[in-house]
Amino acid sequence: MDFQNTLARRGVVKLGLASAGLALAGCSAEQSKDFYKGKTVHIVIGYEPGGGYDTFARAVAYHLGKHIPGNPTVVAENMPGASSMTATGYIYKVAPQDGTMIAATGLAPLLQPLVDPKTAQFDPRKLNWLPSSGQGLTLVMVKSTLPIKTWKDLQTTEVHLAGSGALGQNTLFTHVLNATLHTKIKLIHGFAGTAGEMLAIERGEVQGHPGFMWSSLKTMRPEWVRDKTVRVLLQYGGMTPAPDLPDVPFARDLITDPDDKLLFDTGVASLQVVRPFFQGPNVPADRVEIMRKAVMDTYNDPEFLVDAKKLSIDMNPQDGQSVQDFITKTYSVPQTVIDKLRQLYALPES
């Protein structure tokens, strides 16, 4: 099934920021089931068309409608900006709260309000989180031509790796790695997205990358894996190491100080909920439950799983309530941890 071409033929309904509605007051579960019949559900994607988040969200959009009672039309709309924070703000403050609007964003909305509350004017704990596709196992990798052989070499040798922008998530991850593992990673910014960062590695403008997802590497540069063009020094972000990286240390296991481990866990917490989907804070609870079930049913749909496999997406879904509970727990860490993360986030980049 060519879900992208099908969605393009359907057309995309434009989202008018000035046409926001208020949440409908409480209704019964049966009324909610009837509510979606004849409606259009919008998935607002926080990135430009063509990237990994966009492609995955469109795959979900293609299959989701048949799992929602009433079988509404589902369309995808791109609203890029500020690492998907623009789309998050729209869903949180402006979009109708009737259950017809869903955000598909990156990692920034999960942790940004904790580390930089001045620029993130929303509370992730108040959003209604839908099932996540899984976790984001992430790599620190360098070009294999470098004399750096193990992660311990990062403690004694400064390396210049591709940054995602001074305020990006990879920047925070790198500062947390440097603080807890005493590595000497220096970030070089200014590249146009993931494609630009990979090109910079190929050109020798940087020596590697501090936060590349393992699944993305296997999809976007399988020859790097096959030919051992890069050397993977660390893996982090998931609850357990990748089974196909048996010789690569799991960063969390290398941290012995309990305070450092808590700092690390909080700093990379957003990697536990990759490709997040959520609804606004005032959507009726019964409609949230309907959408949570519909998204999980989509993730388990054999036809959707065929598309996910084509995209090299490893599906290990977490239900919506588990995601909600995880975010609440993350935001309940001691203030000392929050203060330290804010200090790391604010570190200047040279």
Any idea where the domains of the chain sit in the sequence?
Answer: 3-134+274-332, 138-270
The length of the chain, given as a count of residues: 350
Over residues 196-208, mean pLDDT: 93
Nearest to 60 by CA among 106, 108, 4: 4
Q: What percent of the chain has pLDDT over 70?
A: 88
Tell me the CATH number of domain 3-134+274-332, given options 3.90.1150.10, 2.60.110.10, 3.30.1600.10, 3.40.190.150. 3.40.190.150
pLDDT at 117: 87
Q: What is the pLDDT of residues 243-299, one digit of tens each?
A: 999 999 999 999 999 999 999 999 999 998 988 999 999 999 999 999 999 999 999
Confidence of residue 136 (pLDDT cuts 50, 70, 90): confident
pTM: 0.81
Distance CA 253, CA 127 (A): 32
> pLDDT for 205-239, tens place per residue?
999 999 998 888 887 888 999 999 999 999 999 77
Return the closest-CA partner of residue 57 out of 39, 73, 44: 44
* Nearest to 202, CA basis, from 171, 230, 225: 230
Q: One fold for both 3-134+274-332 and 138-270? A: yes
Distance CA 312, CA 218 (A): 8
Nearest-angstrom CA–CA distance, 19 and 257: 51
pLDDT digits (tens, 9 = 90+) for 94-123: 999 999 999 999 888 998 899 888 888 899
Q: Within 13 Å and on the Cβ side, how many CA atoms surround 13? A: 14
Can you give the pLDDT at residue 316?
Answer: 87
**39: nearest Cα among 70, 16, 18, 17:** 70
CATH number of 138-270: 3.40.190.10
